[in-house]
Every structure is written in C-alpha cells, then in structure tokens.
C-alpha cells in the first residue's frame, strides 16, 4: 500500500471534516438531534481516518523491517 498524494489529501480532508464536526459540537448551538448526527458523522470520519493511519503504520513497519533485514 503506497502513500499517494490522493491518499494524503483524503486523510487531510477527513481531518478537516472531523475538526469541523468538533467545532459544531463545541459551539453548543445544535439541537440534541443535530448534535447526535454531528457526533455520529464525526465517529464515521474518525474510523475512516484511522484506517488510513493503520495503513501508513503498516507501511512504516514494513520498511523498517526490510531495512533491518538488509543490515544483518
């Protein structure tokens, strides 16, 4: 799984979306229903971003493992 500009942009977009949802919730101006919908959207966004981060972590671990194998 290589990191492409599209994946980075996607992560950055997800992060901006998550920040937007948090700001809406922090303002405290939403109805209960709107706040629950915003919270749910935030959870969905966070899960999608987590998948991207997990992929990046796996790639880093793979690269470090390959580097260590060549060092031996």
Tens of pLDDT, residues 33-66: 999 999 999 999 999 999 999 999 999 999 999 9
Whole-model pTM: value is 0.76
39 or 7, which is more confident?
39
Give 9's pLDDT tier (boundaries 50, 70, 90): low
Residue 23, pLDDT above cutoff 90: yes
Q: How far is CA 58 from CA 4, 20, 41, 50, in A?
A: 15, 28, 26, 12
Question: Residue 15: which pLDDT band, with cuts at 50, 70 and 90?
Answer: very high
- Residue spans of the domains in the chain: they are 5-71
State yes or no: pLDDT of 13 exceeds 50: yes
């Amino acid at each position: 799984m290589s990191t492409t500009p599209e994946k980075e942009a996607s992560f950055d977009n997800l992060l901006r979306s998550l920040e937007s949802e948090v700001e809406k919730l922090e303002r405290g101006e939403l109805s209960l229903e709107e706040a629950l919908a915003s919270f749910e959207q935030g959870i969905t966004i966070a899960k999608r971003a987590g998948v991207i981060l997990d992929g990046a972590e796996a790639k880093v671990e793979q690269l470090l493992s390959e580097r260590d194998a060549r060092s031996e």
